[in-house]
Structure 1
Amino acid sequence: MKRLLVGAAFGALILPSTALAHDLDGADCLDAACDTVALFDAPVLGATGYEGIESPKYGDWGVDLDGRDTSVRPGEDFFQYANGAYVDALEIPADRTRYGSFDLLSQLSENRLETLVNDIAGSSPAAGTDEYRIAALYNSYVDEARVEALDMQPIEPMLTEIRGIADHAAMAAHMGATQSRPGSSVFGLYVSDDAKNPVQYAPYMGQSGLGLPNRDYYLTANFTDKLTAYQAYVARMLAMIGWDNAEQAAADIVAMETKIAEAHWTRAESRDRDRTYNPMTPTELAAFAPGFDWAAYFEQAGVADQQRFVLSQNTAFPKIAAIYAETPIETLRAWQAFNVVDQSAPYLSKRFADAQWDFRSRELSGQLEQRPRNKRAVGFANGRVGEALGRLYVERWFPAENKAQMEELVVNLRTALAERIRNLDWMGEETKTRALEKLDKFGVKIGYPVKWRDYSELEVRPDDLYGNMVRASAFNWDYQLDRLDRPVDDEEWSMTPQTVNAYYSSTKNEIVFPAAILQPPFFDPDADPAVNYGAIGGVIGHEIGHGFDDQGRKSNGDGVLTEWWTEADEQRFEAQATRLGAQYDSYEPIEGQNLQGRLTMGENIGDLAGVTLGLEAYRVSLNGQEAPVLDGTTGDQRVFYGWAQVWRAKYRDDALRQQIAQGPHSPAEFRVIGPVRNVDAWYEAFDVQPTDAYYVAPEERVRLW
């Protein structure tokens, strides 16, 4: 729960779901979901969503044709045309803030994990095994009686420590210690592949210090109500721990954070991989951003021996350091105490857990009900020993043949992109040669890692929920620190196999597809090939496209952040990207809140590449044969249906507002409409005319990859 805004180290298809969330330094993700096990002929999900553990199926050949709204012309709203009947009938479960294809699959993954955890917890596993750690983590969370009896006792030592912090130097040291325990800092620290030397890890630093999702919540009229609610929440939590003058302290905290928000870079600015690579020595940093005791901070964080740090939002550092220096120590103590209780609340008694949920889930995202405790317990275990559960998940639910079919799809997608690169009319031969070299060096990981993470040094106890959380935090930070002395591990995964997601790593130049996403509606070995090419083929193309989006393109085939484009080709690329951004700027999912084309640029380029390459790869797979017509649909139509079907989703208003403000991906509706209106074949497949709302004249269509 460290509040750190960092530049994207890799592009991902979606955001982790609430229950399966885990920290991904540098992650650039969107949403997640699930789908139902029956054929989708009359899909109406109830208030609890999907409860099964079997993969869903869609129609007779992979598409739920009954889920369409054929009263709408495809060119007027292709999302509604392809998904409208399903989405209109969809009921968002009360404990979710959105629901759709991703969410349903994420819920399926959660259900499977719950089955595994229940089996393990009831089997008395031997001490020292991964199974024991899974059971102990789960049992400590569901032991509600003990948690209630302890109430706030687990955090009292930390609160006592905070009350005793005498000055700013001591507070800076304390902030360094929060890398491995609850609490926060006005600066964030993490370890990642060095963008300019990707065979080594480097310590990175970024702006931090905000309790709301991003600077917009403090500075724009769209979120005035949330800022007011946040101040009330801060006061409530401080009062619950007996902090003196809680109301005034909350006002002072919000005032401090508002100043920090003014210093923060925007989310769009923080995407720029050139601007966010700023190496400095500790001595240079101390001179650059005075007013903060960097030596004390680094000592307690465990990185005092490091002689080089890469700053992301570098110009924010001196401003934040100055704000820190001028803030009274009383306010900093109250701010730190609030952060401790806020981050600890899910592991404390019900009054704390409910208060945190009431603000962070209900108020900020519109969630109506809290997840049942047993499901939160599964999420807790999964978040701490995810690869241990992933190993068991794969053994039970990932057929080996899925991996083989995926490998064939990837080959065809790469072939399609290579051919498109050779024929690009806006790119010169020199850059084409280098682009093809990069594509040739793309790595591919499918299903699960070849080696699993070792959790043997993680101590867990079945009767110590809070202690388990703290020890797991320290264990993970030690793991990060240990990387600083080693070369980059090319076999490491940034997601667990049970995560419904996919990603591209710019430093490793690889695309990764966890096992859990390789299910309908993304991938179905029994579906018509055109549907698979539109769905999982589109996902593959999306992730490959990240290697050539506005930021991923800046790294070469070896993952090195360097300039490998000619100036003329770069200018032509930027001209096309600017036009694409303008299209997305015009979309207004909520009245008065348009999308941010610069913020969502990388994912929008990925989506356009995904649709384009999925279609091209399907045509490659036909080997010159005519595509069959199924239930009156052509092969090209089925590719577009496959893409549209994976983005079925409905949002609560507050969740949608939050995504527009800070998410690097466009909402589901425009992940369908946005790319297809730039693809010539879509116009031909669905007879889209100049009079249709989303028609784009051929000369105005964006043509990148």
Structure 2
Amino acid sequence: MKTKHYVAVAAFATLAMASCTGQQNATNTSGIDLANMDTTVSAGADFFRYACGGWNDAHPLTAEYSRFGTFDELAENNQKQLRELIEGLAAQQNEAGTTAQKVGDLYNLAMDSVALNEQGVTPVKPMLDKIAALTDKAQIIPTSIELLRTQGVGTYFSCYVYADPKNSSLNIFQMSQGGINLGEKSYYLDTDSVTENIRNEYKKYIGKLFTLAGFSEAEAQQKVADVMEIETAIAKVSKTATERRDPEANYHKMSYEELKKQIKGIDWDAYMKALGIQAPAELNVEQIEPIQEVGKLIASLPLSKHVSYLQYNLLDAAASCLSDDFVAARFDFYGKVMSGRQVNQPRWKRAVNTVNGVLGELVGQMYVEKYFPAAAKERMVQLVKNLQVALGERIDAQEWMSDSTKMRAHEKLDAFHVKVGYPDKWKDYSKLEIKNDSYWANICRASEWSYDDMMSRLGKPVDKDEWLMTPQTVNAYYNPSTNEICFPAAILQPPFFNMNADDAANYGAIGVVIGHEMTHGFDDQGRQFDKDGNLKDWWAEGDAERFQERTQVMVDFFNNIEVLPGLHANGQLTLGENIADHGGLNIAYLAYQNATKDAPLEVKDGFTPDQRFFIAYATLWAGNIRDEQIRVYTKIDPHSLGEWRVNGALPHINAWYDAFQITPEDPLYIAPEKRVNIW
């Protein structure tokens, strides 16, 4: 299910799942675990090490991980809890069509290594043969859509149904670039030794899949060349991850007739028919050039090359659901080469992840019932309100912003749709059948169910109560199209949220998370959407230019960070998340001051309340990471690396200097006039 389209939301971190255990009544502890720290290091020299050194030393990377931090630790706890829930259902006889049957049977199929190894490539053989039997280029697009609809396999470009960026109340048909399985164009085009090695290993992986599927070595090598030719051609005209961050530049609404005129070489009538929909009167094409290139490739390349490309996309998508040799081949490339991992996750973890991915809200219901305390939601709702007040005060304090823009900013802030814990209405999985045939067959049925669910929304009003994360996900997000902030149940636990801790730690941790997501509504992307979620310029003349002057300071600062020898951070790619961290810290600190002004907190465990605020924030980013994963994240991830969400963010926060008596002699010190000052 590699091609499910996820709406572009601003998440707090790269996705992780974790558990949420019940808390006792608040006892006002410090919220700080001294064992996590390394106070032999000066706070002003390396605050990441100062706050997180003990945790990092106690959690060295194991062979299974390319990155292991607080998010991953919680994910491990969560997997164990979900395993207990799921295996309890998998061990019993369940009535057909029930939640227990669907969850239990899918897990058992994923765990049955004997059956999977006996089946080998058999589950995908009929579709491989069908692709091989193509006789006319007119069959390419319908076949690619059949792969998408019935198997969840994406190919040349993607399509989805979601809110029109400029008419956020209506779901419309949209298309975006795709077709390159390495995800980012630079992997196909850069000529440095590291990237060239990745490309060579990628070719070996493609060839391995074809030989495992029964093709001769000569056939496999020809197919490798075919796949690379198509993917490289698409990559050359694709937009980078940084370019895709500009909402206006990636919005091209047009009529169906305009689509036919602008993008030739694709039979759009056949495309829509294969999708099973009426041709829409209007649609949005995010990136035009890569889809134009697909039309050219269909016209210019022989059918045999497209057959290779379609077959490879099927094998790549299905590999993790087939026999162990396919699983190993996929892990050897994506796990070892790309991320530096040494061993794959044990089978039970992969099976839990599949059930969680396919039946997310069914699992979520069980999870919330057992692990989510109602008191956590109540306290969280109050924290959100306090942060909204603080952000309003921060907006009023900005001298660079005009009164009219401030007024509209307040309107947007007041219109935030806040979601905490879990949905009021759960997804209906009644039409999704889980059968005891093959693991891949069930993944296909789940993909088709998901596709039909998405397409059923075409032309209908946007459901603003729908959740884009499951309750068991440790993360949070802001969605500009619905102007919503969402905090799933699983993030409401230590070190993010501690019912036993006082306000200093909680505002420094979950308070910053809340402020972070709120700030996304006003970062370089979010500020382009109005209170109703429409892509619309609501800023008074001159304000945008003054905003951009300030954000450029942040871009330049992060561009100068060397994350590995010769490799620098991408300040433009990470700008939105860096703005959100900056705003989140400022807003949460003000909210914490407001909350404690009438009853100041005491020094605890040797740290002042202000110090504990910043230590709690830094603790969220404790973790170790392999060089390979650093390279991947630097190319594709809009979030800065954990170390720099501490050492890169805090030196721009004035209150941090006061809390730890940071002076110009300290390595992290930045002169006041050079600090970022936004929100």
TM-score normalized by the length of structure 1: 0.92
Query: 1:498: Cα distance to partner?
Result: 0.3
Q: Find 2:195's aligned residue among 223, 235, 241.
A: 223
Aligned counterpart for 2:174 among listed residues 191, 199, 204: 204
Q: Report how far residue 381 of structure 1 moved.
A: 1.0
Residue in 1 that maps onto 2:624 = 650
Code of the aligned partner of 2:460:
R
- Matching residue of 1:358: 332
Counterpart Cα distance in 2 of 1:91 and 1:366:
14
Residue 127 (structure 2) aligned to one of 149, 153, 158? 158
CA distance in structure 2 between the partners assigned to 1:363 and 1:542 by the alignment: 33
Among the aligned pairs, what percent are the same residue?
A: 39
Output aligned runs, 1:618-657, within 5 Å: 618-657=592-631
- 1:346 maps to 2:346: no
Cα distance in 2 between the residues matched to 1:59 and 1:260: 56
Structure 1, unpaired ranges of 5+: 21-32, 36-52
- The residue that corresponds to 2:183 in the other structure is 213
For this pair of structures, how many residues does the alignment match? 673
Runs of 4+ in 1 over 6 A off after TM superposition: 53-59
- Equivalent positions of 1:48-447 (< 5 A) are 61-180=30-149, 181-220=151-190, 221=192, 222-243=194-215, 245-447=219-421
Per-residue CA deviations over 1:19-49 (Å, capped at 9, x if unaligned) read x6xxxxxxxxxxxx789xxxxxxxxxxxxxx
Q: Give 1:698 deviation, angstroms.
A: 0.9
Q: Does 1:600 align with 2:569?
A: no
State the alpha-carbon separation in 2 of the partners of residues 574 and 586 from structure 1: 18
CA distance in 1, matches of 2:518, 2:545: 22
Matched letter for residue 199 of structure 2: L
| 8 Å Cα contact 1:503-1:543 kept in structure 2 | yes
Residue 60 of structure 1, CA deviation: 5.4
- The one-letter amino acid paired with 1:225 is N
> Do the aligned partners of residues 59 and 96 (structure 1) sit closer, same or farther apart at CA in structure 2, a change above 3 Å counting?
farther
Match of 1:584 in 2: 558
SS state of the match for residue 652, structure 2? coil
CA shift digits 1:197-225 (9 cap, x unpaired): 11111121111111213111111224111
The CA RMSD over aligned residues, in Å, is 2.0
Judge conservation of contact 2:3–2:153 (CA < 8 Å) in 1: no
Is the CA contact (8 Å cut-off) linking 1:282 and 1:308 kept in structure 2? yes
Structure-1 separation of matches of 2:562 and 2:43 = 19
Deviation, 1:170, is 0.8
- Give distance in 2, aligned partners of 1:66 and 1:287: 64
Tell me, what secondary structure is at the counterpart of 1:483?
coil
Aligned-partner SS, 1:99: strand
Distance in 1 (CA, whole Å) between partners of 2:22 and 2:319 is 34
Distance in 2 between residues matched to 1:372 and 1:531, nearest whole Å: 35
Greater shift after overlay, 623-632 or 396-405?
623-632
Distance 1:484 1:122 in 2: 40
Structure 1 contact 522–535 (Cα < 8 Å) conserved: yes
Distance 1:353 1:623 in 2: 57
Distance in 1 separating the partners of 2:111 and 2:363: 18
Verify the 8 A CA contact 2:29 2:502 in the aligned structure 1: no
Q: Does 1:14 align with 2:23?
A: no
Secondary structure in structure 1 of the residue aligned to 2:260: helix
The Cα shift of 1:59 comes to 12
Counterpart residue type for residue 61 of structure 2: I
Give the Cα–Cα distance (whole angstroms) in 1 for the partners of residues 632 and 362 of structure 2.
32
Higher RCO, Cα 8 Å, sep 6+: 2
- When structure 1 is superposed on structure 2, of 184-193 and 386-395 the one drifting more is 184-193
Q: Which amino acid aligns with 2:291?
A: F
In structure 2, the CA distance between the partners of 1:55 and 1:365, relative to structure 1 (3 Å rule), is: farther
Instruction: Give the 3 Å change call, closer, same or farther, for CA 479–3 of structure 1 in structure 2.
Output: closer
Counterpart amino acid of residue 114 in structure 2: A
Given that 1:184 and 1:336 are in contact with CA atoms closer than 8 Å, whether structure 2 keeps it comes out as no
Contact 1:34 1:104 in 2 (8 A): no
Which residue does the alignment assign to 2:636? 662
Give the superposition deviation at 1:58.
13
Verify: 1:546 aligned to 2:520, yes or no: yes
Amino acid of the residue matched to residue 615 of structure 2? Y
Whole-Å Cα distance in 1 between the matches of residues 19 and 624 of structure 2?
Answer: 12
Q: CA deviation at 1:494?
A: 0.3
Question: Counterpart of 1:596 in 2: which secondary structure?
Answer: coil
Separation of aligned partners in 1, 2:44 and 2:54? 17
Contact 1:55-1:520 within 8 A present in 2 as well: no
What is the rounded CA distance, in whole Å, between the counterparts of 1:336 and 1:59 in structure 2?
A: 59
The correspondence for 1:525, drawn from 490, 499, 502, is 499
How far 1:347 moved relative to its partner? 1.4
| 1:455 counterpart residue number | 429
Give the CA deviation at 1:660.
0.7
Q: Is the 8 A contact 1:4 1:206 kept in 2?
A: no
Distance in 2 between residues matched to 1:4 and 1:398, nearest whole Å: 28
Aligned equivalents of 1:54 and 1:349: distance in 2?
40
CA distance in structure 2 between the partners assigned to 1:179 and 1:60 by the alignment: 52
Matches of 2:650 and 2:313, distance apart in 1: 44
Measured after TM superposition, the shift of residue 158 of structure 1 is 0.3
113-122 vs 620-629, which moves further: 620-629
> Structure 1 pair 303/674, CA: closer, same or farther in 2 (3 Å)?
farther
Change (3 A) 1:59 1:380: farther
Query: In structure 2, what residue type is equivalent to 1:117?
Result: I
Verify the 8 A CA contact 2:158 2:176 in the aligned structure 1.
Answer: yes
Q: How far off is 1:140 after superposition?
A: 1.3
- TM-score, normalising length from structure 2? 0.96
| Structure 1: distance between partners of 2:410 and 2:153 | 46
1:366 maps to amino acid: G
Does the CA contact (< 8 Å) of 2:408 and 2:538 recur in 1? yes
Preserved contact between residue 5 and residue 206 of structure 1 (Cα < 8 Å): no
Separation of aligned partners in 2, 1:80 and 1:320? 48
Look up the SS of the partner of 1:444 in the other structure.
strand
Instruction: Report if the CA contact (8 A) 1:4-1:207 is conserved.
Output: no
Answer whether contact 2:55 2:623 (CA < 8 A) is retained. Answer: no
Deviates more, 1:184-193 or 1:452-461: 184-193
Stretch deviating more after TM superposition (217-226 or 641-650): 217-226
Alpha-carbon contact 1:502-1:517 (below 8 Å) kept: yes
CA-CA distance at 1:150 after TM superposition = 1.4
Show CA shifts across 1:143-167 (max 9, x none).
2222222111111110111011123
CA deviation after TM superposition for structure 1 residue 419, in Å? 0.8
Could you tell me which amino acid in structure 1 is paired with residue 489 of structure 2? Answer: A
SS where residue 648 of structure 2 aligns?
helix
The answer (yes or no) to whether the contact 1:445–1:513 under 8 Å persists in 2 is yes
Equivalent-residue separation in structure 2 for 1:275 and 1:186 (angstroms): 21
- Superposition deviation, residue 636 in structure 1: 1.1
SS in 2 for 1:206: strand
Equivalence for 1:671? 645
CA distance in 1, matches of 2:31, 2:549: 38
Mark the runs of 5 or more structure 2 residues left unpaired by the alignment.
Answer: none
Q: Is the 8 A contact 1:589 1:595 kept in 2?
A: yes
Instruction: Tell me the amino acid that sits aligned with residue 545 of structure 2.
Output: Q
